[in-house]
Amino acid sequence: MRVAVLGVGIMGSAMAERLASQGFEVALWNRTREKAESLAKSIGATVYPSPWSASERSDFAIAFLADDNALLAVAADMRRADGLVYINSSTVTPRVSQLAASHLEGLGICYVEAPVVGGANDVRQGRALFLAAGDKSCVRSSGRVLSAAGEVMEVGETIGSAMALKLAYNAVLISTVGVLGEAVTLAELYGVSPSTLQEVMKRTAFSEVANKYLPRMLDPSSPVHFRLSLAAKDLEYASRAAFDAGVPLHIVSTASRLFKQAEVHGLGARDYTKVVDFMRPRRAS
């Protein structure tokens, strides 16, 4: 079975590695070709110059793209491909997912939105959670690929519902990390160490949050799992999606501004937990 992986950032690379390890034939496309070529050498994949050239002889295409604009650009490159299943595992707004679905379905392509809950290591280890929405037969067919990297949760047939669910989840996750960064800053302003804050949290319902995110937040050598710039984008998209439906999200919008300001101040390429470095007064010294 041949799968085209479109976009080989942190998540796309992990998916390509997982699929190759599970016996799939993998085709790669990435906007920066050199990155795809490096990955291809390590997993025995083939690199193509465009999304369409990677997809046209594939049974499935799975996209891990940065944002709305990238998804629409890739969709615009596709041609008539009856029987191709296009799995959109990018995190985008529901409205743009619907636009992409309409365009691709007009080309005979089976469109499934299946954003991921979990990180790259979850994908590599086959324990990610994919939130899938779309035509039932298309969703079930996509499970032949997605189940290689984790569990598939069928959200329904309405395109946009899985994206809304992913944005809702990310709104909770990213906003929580932002509040945790402010809690660290507040404690430090009064001479209380982050380790003391962690000890308190470990005795409460926030134990798991403290244990997972405080070390990652405070260790300068911690690797990038989720870029801060993408976290800012996801909060903006969550706010935009709710606004499109006629309801403002006040807290999420505030968190979106916080992460965007951190990105503007040069932290966009770092892990999103490093938003704390934008908050701490020492950063200005």
CATH code at position 250: 1.10.1040.10
Nearest CA to 271 among 167, 181, 149, 165? 181
Summarize pLDDT for 73-92 with one digit per residue, the tens: 999 999 999 999 999 999 99
How many of the other CB atoms lie within 10 Å of CB of 270? Answer: 18
Contact 175, 236 (CB under 8 A): no
pLDDT number for residue 285 = 40
Co-location of 6 and 63 in the same domain = yes
Say what the pTM is: 0.95
Domain termination residue (choose one: 112, 141, 157): 157
**pLDDT per residue of the chain (285 residues) written in tens, 0 to 9:** 999 999 999 999 999 999 999 999 999 999 999 999 999 999 999 999 999 999 999 999 999 999 999 999 999 999 999 999 999 999 999 999 999 999 999 999 999 999 999 999 999 999 999 999 999 999 999 999 999 999 999 999 999 999 999 999 999 999 999 999 999 999 999 999 999 999 999 999 999 999 999 999 999 999 999 999 999 999 999 999 999 999 999 999 999 999 999 999 999 999 999 999 999 986 444
Q: Residue 116 maps to which CATH number?
A: 3.40.50.720
Count: domains in the chain:
2
Range of the domain at 229: 163-284
Burial class of residue 121 in the structure, from the number of CB atoms within 10 Å of its CB (0-12 exposed, 13-18 middle, 19+ buried) = exposed
Domain termination residue (choose one: 122, 157, 192): 157
Co-location of 92 and 216 in the same domain = no
Co-location of 12 and 140 in the same domain = yes
Co-location of 89 and 151 in the same domain = yes
Nearest CA to 113 among 84, 137, 82, 142? 142
pLDDT number for residue 281 = 85
Nearest CA to 112 among 80, 79, 146? 146
Co-location of 189 and 279 in the same domain = yes
Co-location of 10 and 145 in the same domain = yes
Co-location of 150 and 167 in the same domain = no
Co-location of 32 and 143 in the same domain = yes
Domain termination residue (choose one: 130, 157, 184): 157
pLDDT number for residue 282 = 62
Co-location of 189 and 94 in the same domain = no
Co-location of 84 and 146 in the same domain = yes
Co-location of 137 and 24 in the same domain = yes
Co-location of 121 and 95 in the same domain = yes
Helices (H), the chain: 10-21, 33-43, 51-55, 68-77, 94-105, 120-124, 136-146, 161-189, 194-201, 207-218, 228-244, 250-262, 276-279
